[in-house]
Amino acid sequence: MASSGLQLLGFFLALVGLGATVTATVMVEWKKQYQGKTYRVYEGLWMTCSGNERTTCEFHQYLLKLPTEVQATRAVMLLSIFISTVAVLVSTFGMKCTNFLDGRRKSKSTTAVVGGIMFIVAGLLIVIITSWYVRMIIQTVNQSHHLQSFEFGKAVFVSWVGGLLSMAGGGLLSCRTCWRTGPSESLSANHLFTTSNQMSNYV
């Protein structure tokens, strides 16, 4: 029961991480800029929004004209979402609470580990690309001497949380020693049961 609980916890954390990653990918507030007291500009991976109390948004029309960090972040985020989606399917087959591959215990265990590793890779990609994106923004701010420059927004933190949760969930799924049923314990229990039966027969 404890091993299945750890698997479910890891799967749940990875799903939450995937949801946070999808949310961060579609969020507009990757970059933010304040012009005056009320005018705001937000730039995301897919669109740019600007305005005072009510903002208007426009999709990026030309991919090749986008900054390098936006193009790279968009591509890696989509790749991570794809890997996590495949990991969800693979992990479902390998989890103990499902009926898939019940006749092949070793294959089922290996499948769960593979799914966990895929979650870890997806989460690591998110953390790396988000950190690089923030670094590029900070470099731009330093070069412009803080004049009319962008700052990183809420989507960056959502992305970091998504990556860390995916890695944590994948770690629980891929850790065999955390949820593997110990064969030695079951063997010793059977041995004691057999020995007690033999002693009772002598009496």
Q: Are 122 and 83 in contact (CB under 8 A)?
A: yes
Task: Place 8 in a pLDDT band, splitting at 50, 70 and 90.
Answer: confident
Q: Are 115 and 173 in contact (CB under 8 A)?
A: yes
Residue 57: strand pairing partners: 49
Is residue 18 situated within a structural domain?
Answer: yes
Task: Place 72 in a pLDDT band, splitting at 50, 70 and 90.
Answer: very high
Is residue 111 situated within a structural domain?
Answer: yes
Q: In total, how many domains does the chain have?
A: 1
- pLDDT (average), residues 5-25: 90
Write b or e for each residue in 68-93: b if 16 or more Cβ atoms lie within 10 A of its Cβ, otherwise e. ebbeebbebbeebbebbeebbebbeb
Task: Place 192 in a pLDDT band, splitting at 50, 70 and 90.
Answer: very low
CA distance 86 to 91: 9
Position 2 scores a pLDDT of 40
Task: Place 147 in a pLDDT band, splitting at 50, 70 and 90.
Answer: low
Is residue 124 situated within a structural domain?
Answer: yes
pLDDT for 189 beyond 80: no
Taken in order 93, 96, 99, 103, the sign of the CA dihedral is positive
Structure tokens at 96: 């103990």
**Domain extent for 12:** 2-27+65-181
Taken in order 161, 152, 81, 47, the sign of the CA dihedral is positive
pLDDT for 113 beyond 60: yes
Position 117 scores a pLDDT of 92
Position 14 scores a pLDDT of 93
Strands annotated E in the chain: 31-35, 39-43, 47-51, 55-59, 151-152
Is residue 149 situated within a structural domain?
Answer: yes
Is residue 140 situated within a structural domain?
Answer: yes
Write b or e for each residue in 1-33: b if 16 or more Cβ atoms lie within 10 A of its Cβ, otherwise e. eeeeebbbebbebbbbbbebbbebbebbbbbbe
Output the domain CATH number for residue 116. 1.20.140.150
- Sequence-separated (6 or more) residues with CB below 8 Å from residue 7: 95, 96, 97, 112, 172, 173, 179
Is residue 97 situated within a structural domain?
Answer: yes
Is residue 70 situated within a structural domain?
Answer: yes
Greater confidence (82 vs 57) lies with 82
pTM here? 0.77
- pLDDT (average), residues 156-162: 95
pLDDT for 194 beyond 90: no
Residue type, 197: N
Is residue 142 situated within a structural domain?
Answer: yes
Instruction: Tell me phi and psi for residue 91, to 5 degrees.
Output: -65, -35
Computed over every residue of the chain, the mean pLDDT equals 78
Q: Are 185 and 2 in contact (CB under 8 A)?
A: no
